[in-house]
């Protein structure tokens, strides 16, 4: 496959090998603007205002008021004099002089920043409104001059690149900014005119040697234009204007890279070109501003012909190829791999990984609709393993939270014991999450990143700035750094060059959990390329990331990014601000997601946030959030704030955002902003989403299959979360178990499986062969999901690494044959109308019976008959033999991590124990109540309610020594955490001396 590497790779050009700074800041064009009569009027008025404020004010003060201060040193008598009108005037005069001095300083600071074009203007202490007024007046004054090109505070340092092979980073950055070009522009304009003439020098050489051809094969040249306003030319735009397709910029780059330009420098990066440079163009280039050779050679001077001839010879000699390149020879073709243009590069895979990578990729590949069972699942969720894992984990936590909150309600018949069963689109979305999720990949990613942070902290090394992470099809993890950071700590290795750190999957699996902050919580999946998944670190981008394309296409990207950031497993905490979309997404993570109504509110919020973070970093003595996440300062736990703005901001708001984003990467703030046109001030990286689902970033060298979350799937996912919301207050009745069985003698099942405790099956012969464990596991999954199981969910549960459809279908047929049919011929395993596999009512588990007994005791016949309730509760508690599927084989039943049955079963057992205890205490049978509670504690040892009732029941016996032993046992179980406050309060009530007597009793 084609490889994309940075210029820091071994195969890079010599000029780029030593580049020490970040290489991702590409100049972004602003819309061209013609100066109008209004601009000249504004400039004139600004000049008059500055003249009045800077010259008129001090002149008037000097002529009308004079010297306001005392002529001599103040004495006691002076202080005791009467305060007159003249005294007030003198005091006010001093204040006006100070205000004038402050405003003059503001004007000088703003003028210096505007003319230099480097960095943000310095802040004059206490001069907020004065400096803002000075900025606006200077901007208006310079609007009609060349200096206006650089006057956009906060934008001047965006788009900086290392332009020379030997230039220091600071000097190169200064020359890269439009303001830095002002001092050179006159000389460059003259040189550009000469360079344009030089482009024709090749005409004579080609005409004389016969190498030049007229028409389609003629050699053509283009001169890079100087900026107009703040607009910089780029190879993408040149290709778009003259070749009809911006993606062909690589052809121009390949024709001209490493060739000496008229100013002595060379083209080493496609994103770094300078006004006055000459670009040889492919033969099919069309349009104005081109010089075609040899047809147009007579139009230029002999000197220019000679210079173009010299440039053309560098192409033939240094590149070792003809001077022309046909239109059909694309930059991405074989033999023309672009190794110098990409800032986000596809990592080179390790030898021998191809087959393994294909197998790994098959596990989460999105299948065609209708595959297997005759219907499909949402493709976007199937093809987003990290997003699906995050959503599935967050959904499980939400459902557990609802269960635990419901446990504080009444013992019998409370709403929320059984979560609602999804239907329709929500059911399909849940199945897609179960199939597509890769929780193991999330776990390895999280452990790998935290392990790296811990190792670097142990070596007293800072975290390197990471622009992106690539997860290969073979499970290897590649981090792409902003700049070389030395050798990584073991077991990490250097990748294809100094800007890649690589960790093999086998090494990642040896990592254990470490107590350190998540180092790169801003990583988020954008899509896949060549079986590798790209995670962009939004937090580290030096400016704004812009996303262009149709609104509906952009919406899918924004929703995917927001959902993954809100639920991912490799971050601790963060703030995600959504503007222009996503109000309905907040149920996914109410503690992370925040929705703002408009851009104005966003700007106001981010201005305050930026000031606060700058002050916090300064107070902590840290230079960036990265240094605050490792080492001695990691307790600070700098959480990122990521802004997702789907609505295109106005020109004024865009400038404000660009100014805020100029220093955002250092502060842990990231911006992803949508735009219709693609021209966004301050955009460090530009991306485009196409209607075909491709995410393009030409100057980054990326063409991804985008990760999307379309509106329909977004709504289905949100429905899963809202239905599980523990705070939801509606009129739903108390939920009944999803499957109730006949608990009478006539209701004996044909097949009975015991899941609560060791796994046993009654009514079926044990199948022979190696398929027996798979059949048992498949039956357990179906028994826990009486609503039905999608065949692909069954497949992903039994074979997490993927399996072919024929193997899955063969297992389903074996399972169907093993279960057999009822006496009336009805198969005990069949597919419903939606294609999901369901068990017949004659196949029952002890969990089904347990739920049915408790439901009947509390909401059925037992609710009206005390005797029936006691018998049903006693029968239910007898069924509890231990935890769910105890002694299950190691390495199997991994799908249980997605389930909430591990929370449901202990709560159900505790409810049964509490209900039976209350039943016995009604008749003062404390010993029987204690027996029921002890039995329930065997399956729910951490339930605080059981311990409280056990203490009360023991206290009811009147045996203080036994109560002390219970208290000592409870204290021992609590460990270092100590007893909960409510438990301590209960012990204080029942056993006031428990604190002093616990140790002796123990």
Residue 222: which residues within 8 A CB-CB, separation 6 or more?
199, 238, 242, 278, 279, 281, 285, 289, 290, 291
pLDDT band at residue 789 using 50, 70 and 90 as cut-offs: very high
Q: Which comes out higher in pLDDT, residue 248 or 754?
A: 754
Spacing of C-alpha 708 from chain mean position: 13
Which pLDDT score, from 0 to 100, does residue 404 have?
Answer: 76
Average pLDDT over residues 631-654: 78
pLDDT band at residue 21 using 50, 70 and 90 as cut-offs: very low
- Continuous segment of H or E residues that includes residue 812: helix 805-819
Residues 217-234: tens digit of each pLDDT: 567 778 776 665 444 577
Inform me whether the pLDDT recorded for 985 exceeds 70.
yes
Which pLDDT score, from 0 to 100, does residue 271 have?
Answer: 58
Residues 84-137: tens digit of each pLDDT: 777 767 778 888 888 888 888 888 887 776 665 444 466 677 677 777 788 778
- Continuous segment of H or E residues that includes residue 132: helix 128-142
**Sign, CA torsion 928/934/936/942:** positive
Cβ(500)–Cβ(481) below 8 Å: yes
Spacing of C-alpha 267 from chain mean position: 34
Cβ(837)–Cβ(829) below 8 Å: yes
Inform me whether the pLDDT recorded for 168 exceeds 70.
no
- The token pair at 670 is 């990231």
Helical ranges in 923-980 per DSSP H: 926-937, 944-957, 960-974
CA 293/CA 202 separation, integer angstroms: 7
* Out of 47-51, 253-257, 627-631, 949-953, least confident range: 627-631
CA 835/CA 853 separation, integer angstroms: 31
Inform me whether the pLDDT recorded for 770 exceeds 60.
yes
- Continuous segment of H or E residues that includes residue 857: helix 846-859
CA 67/CA 48 separation, integer angstroms: 26
Average pLDDT over residues 701-713: 91
Which pLDDT score, from 0 to 100, does residue 637 have?
Answer: 57
Q: Which comes out higher in pLDDT, residue 137 or 413?
A: 137
Q: Is 701 left (phi over 0), alpha (psi -120 to 50) or beta?
A: left
Cβ(945)–Cβ(410) below 8 Å: no
DSSP letters along 296-351, please? Answer: TGGGS-HHHHHHHHHHHHHHHHHH-S-S---TT--TTSTT----SS-SS-PPPPPT
Average pLDDT over residues 689-702: 88
Q: What percent of the chain has pLDDT over 90?
A: 31
What is the rounded average pLDDT for all residues in the chain? 76
Report residue 547: phi and psi, to 5°. -130, 115
CA 906/CA 404 separation, integer angstroms: 11
Cβ(786)–Cβ(755) below 8 Å: no
CA 765/CA 422 separation, integer angstroms: 34
Average pLDDT over residues 546-570: 94
Which pLDDT score, from 0 to 100, does residue 420 have?
Answer: 75
CA 155/CA 658 separation, integer angstroms: 6
Q: Whose CA is closest to 560, among 533, 591, 598? A: 533
Bond into 779 cis (ω within 30): no
Q: Whose CA is closest to 494, among 479, 509, 483? A: 479
Which pLDDT score, from 0 to 100, does residue 564 have?
Answer: 96
Which pLDDT score, from 0 to 100, does residue 264 have?
Answer: 74
CA 586/CA 727 separation, integer angstroms: 14
Q: Which of 86-90, 265-269, 577-581 is the most confident on average?
A: 577-581
Average pLDDT over residues 595-611: 91
Cβ(914)–Cβ(930) below 8 Å: no
CA 545/CA 680 separation, integer angstroms: 9
pLDDT band at residue 417 using 50, 70 and 90 as cut-offs: low
Burial class (CB in 10 A: 0-12, 13-18, 19+), 259: buried
Inform me whether the pLDDT recorded for 333 exceeds 60.
no
pLDDT band at residue 267 using 50, 70 and 90 as cut-offs: confident
Which pLDDT score, from 0 to 100, does residue 781 have?
Answer: 94
* Share in percent of the chain as helix, strand, coil (round to 5): 50, 10, 40
- Angle at alpha carbon of residue 308, lines to 305 and 314, rounded to 5°: 140
* Out of 358-362, 418-422, 703-707, least confident range: 358-362
- The token pair at 1 is 């496959």
Residues 180-218: tens digit of each pLDDT: 322 333 343 344 434 434 443 443 344 344 433 334 456
Inform me whether the pLDDT recorded for 408 exceeds 70.
no
Which pLDDT score, from 0 to 100, does residue 897 have?
Answer: 85
Average pLDDT over residues 492-504: 92
Q: Which comes out higher in pLDDT, residue 945 or 999?
A: 945
Average pLDDT over residues 482-492: 92
Residues 5-19: tens digit of each pLDDT: 333 333 333 333 333
**pTM for the whole structure:** 0.65
Average pLDDT over residues 537-549: 91
Which pLDDT score, from 0 to 100, does residue 488 have?
Answer: 94
Which pLDDT score, from 0 to 100, does residue 372 have?
Answer: 36
Site of tokens 């074996």: 814
Residue 705: which residues within 8 A CB-CB, separation 6 or more?
383, 527, 528, 529, 693, 694, 695
Q: Which comes out higher in pLDDT, residue 345 or 156?
A: 345
Which pLDDT score, from 0 to 100, does residue 715 have?
Answer: 93
pLDDT band at residue 303 using 50, 70 and 90 as cut-offs: low
Which pLDDT score, from 0 to 100, does residue 32 have?
Answer: 41
Buried b (16+ CB within 10 A) or exposed e, 644-677: bbbbbbeeebbbbbbbbbbbbbbbbbbbbbbbee
Which pLDDT score, from 0 to 100, does residue 713 have?
Answer: 92
**Sign, CA torsion 742/745/750/753:** positive
Q: Which comes out higher in pLDDT, residue 92 or 915?
A: 915
DSSP letters along 349-389, please? Answer: PPTT-HHHHHHHHHHTPPPPTT-TTTS---HHHHT-HHHHH
Q: Which of 95-99, 430-434, 626-630 is the most confident on average?
A: 430-434
Burial class (CB in 10 A: 0-12, 13-18, 19+), 691: exposed
């Amino acid at each position: 496959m084609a490889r994309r590497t940075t210029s820091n790779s071994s195969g890079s050009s010599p000029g780029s090998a030593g580049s020490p700074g970040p290489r991702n800041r590409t100049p972004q064009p602003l819309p061209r603007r013609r100066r109008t009569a209004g601009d000249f009027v504004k400039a004139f008025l600004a000049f008059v205002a500055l003249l009045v404020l800077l010259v008129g004010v001090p002149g008037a003060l000097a002529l009308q008021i004079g010297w306001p201060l005392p002529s001599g040193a103040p004495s006691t008598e002076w202080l005791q004099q009467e305060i007159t009108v003249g005294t007030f005037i003198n005091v006010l005069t001093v204040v006006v002089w100070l205000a004038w001095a402050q405003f003059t300083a503001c004007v000088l600071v703003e003028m210096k920043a505007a003319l230099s074009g480097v960095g943000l203007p310095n802040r004059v202490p206490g001069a907020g409104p004065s400096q803002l007024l000075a900025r606006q007046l200077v901007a208006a004054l310079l609007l009609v001059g060349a200096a206006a090109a650089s006057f956009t505070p906060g934008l001047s340092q965006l788009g900086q690149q290392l332009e020379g092979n030997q230039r220091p980073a600071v000097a190169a950055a200064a020359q890269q900014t439009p303001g830095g070009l002002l001092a050179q522009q006159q000389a460059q304009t003259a040189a550009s005119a000469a360079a344009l003439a030089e482009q024709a020098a090749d005409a004579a050489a080609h005409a004389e040697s016969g190498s030049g051809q007229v028409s389609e094969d003629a050699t053509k040249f283009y001169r890079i234009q100087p900026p107009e306003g703040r607009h910089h030319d780029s190879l993408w735009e040149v290709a778009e204007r003259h070749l009809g397709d911006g993606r062909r910029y690589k052809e121009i780059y390949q024709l001209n890279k490493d060739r000496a330009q008229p100013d002595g420098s060379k083209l080493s990066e496609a994103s770094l070109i300078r006004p006055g440079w000459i670009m040889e163009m492919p033969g099919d280039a069309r349009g104005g501003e081109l010089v075609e050779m040899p047809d147009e050679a007579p139009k230029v001077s002999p000197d220019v012909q000679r210079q173009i001839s010299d440039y053309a010879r560098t192409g033939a000699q240094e590149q070792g190829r003809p001077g022309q390149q046909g239109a059909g020879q694309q930059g991405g073709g074989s033999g023309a791999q672009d190794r110098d243009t990409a800032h986000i590069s596809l990592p080179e895979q390790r030898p021998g990984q191809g087959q393994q990578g294909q197998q790994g990729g098959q596990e989460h590949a999105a299948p065609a609709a209708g595959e297997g069972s005759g219907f499909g699942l949402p493709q976007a969720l199937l093809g987003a393993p990290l997003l699906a894992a995050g959503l599935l984990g967050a959904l499980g936590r939400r459902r557990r939270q609802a269960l635990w909150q419901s446990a504080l309600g009444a013992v019998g018949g409370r709403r929320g014991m059984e979560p609602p069963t999804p239907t329709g689109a929500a059911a399909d979305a849940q199945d897609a999450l179960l199939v597509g999720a890769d929780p193991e990949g999330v776990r390895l990613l999280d452990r790998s990143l935290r392990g790296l942070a811990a190792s670097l902290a142990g070596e007293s090394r800072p975290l390197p700035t990471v622009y992106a992470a690539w997860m290969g099809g073979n499970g290897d993890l590649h981090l792409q750094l902003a700049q070389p950071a030395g050798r990584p700590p073991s077991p990490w290795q250097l990748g294809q060059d100094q800007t890649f750190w690589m960790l093999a999957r086998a090494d990642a699996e040896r990592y254990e959990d470490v107590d350190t902050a998540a180092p790169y919580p801003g990583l988020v999946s954008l899509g896949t390329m060549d079986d590798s998944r790209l995670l962009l670190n939004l937090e580290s981008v030096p400016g704004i990331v812009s996303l262009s394309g149709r609104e509906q296409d952009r919406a899918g990207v924004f929703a995917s990014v927001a959902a993954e950031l809100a639920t991912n497993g490799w971050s601790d905490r963060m703030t995600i601000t959504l503007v222009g979309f996503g109000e309905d997404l907040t149920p996914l993570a109410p503690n992370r997601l925040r929705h703002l109504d408009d851009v104005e509110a966003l700007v106001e919020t981010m201005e305050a946030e930026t000031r606060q973070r700058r002050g916090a970093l300064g107070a902590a003595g840290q230079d960036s959030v990265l240094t605050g996440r490792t080492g001695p300062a990691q307790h600070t736990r700098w959480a990122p704030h990521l802004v997702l703005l789907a609505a295109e901001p106005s020109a004024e708001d865009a400038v404000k955002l660009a100014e805020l984003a100029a220093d955002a990467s250092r502060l842990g703030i990231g911006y992803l902003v949508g735009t219709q046109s693609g021209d966004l001030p301050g955009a460090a990286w530009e991306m485009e989403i196409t209607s075909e689902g491709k995410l393009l970033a030409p100057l980054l060298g990326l063409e991804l299959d985008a990760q999307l979350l379309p509106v329909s799937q977004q709504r289905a996912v949100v429905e899963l979360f809202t239905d599980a919301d523990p705070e939801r207050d509606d009129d739903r009745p108390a939920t009944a178990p999803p499957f109730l069985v006949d608990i009478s003698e006539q209701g004996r099942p044909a097949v009975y499986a015991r899941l609560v405790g060791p796994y046993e099956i009654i009514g079926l012969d044990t199948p022979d062969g190696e398929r027996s464990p798979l059949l048992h596991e498949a039956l357990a999954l179906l028994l826990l999901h009486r609503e039905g199981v999608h065949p692909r969910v069954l497949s992903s549960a039994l074979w997490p690494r993927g399996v072919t459809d024929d193997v899955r279908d063969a297992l389903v047929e074996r399972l169907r044959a093993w279960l057999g049919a009822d006496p009336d011929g009805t198969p005990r395993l069949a597919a419903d109308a939606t294609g999901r596999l369901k068990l017949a009512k004659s196949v029952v588990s002890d969990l089904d019976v347990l739920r049915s007994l408790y439901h009947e005791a509390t909401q059925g016949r037992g609710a009206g008959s005390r005797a029936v309730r006691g018998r049903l509760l006693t029968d239910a508690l007898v069924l509890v033999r231990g935890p769910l599927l105890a002694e299950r084989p190691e390495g199997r039943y991994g799908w249980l991590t997605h389930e909430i049955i591990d929370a449901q079963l202990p709560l159900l057992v505790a409810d049964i124990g509490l209900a039976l205890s209350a039943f016995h205490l009604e008749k003062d049978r404390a010993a029987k109540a204690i027996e029921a509670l002890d039995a329930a504690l065997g399956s729910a040892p951490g339930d605080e309610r059981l311990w409280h009732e056990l203490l009360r029941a023991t206290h009811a016996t009147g045996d203080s020594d036994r109560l002390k032993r219970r208290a000592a046992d409870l204290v021992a179980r609590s460990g270092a955490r100590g007893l909960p406050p409510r438990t301590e309060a209960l012990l204080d009530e029942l056993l006031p001396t428990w604190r002093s007597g616990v140790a002796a009793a123990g």
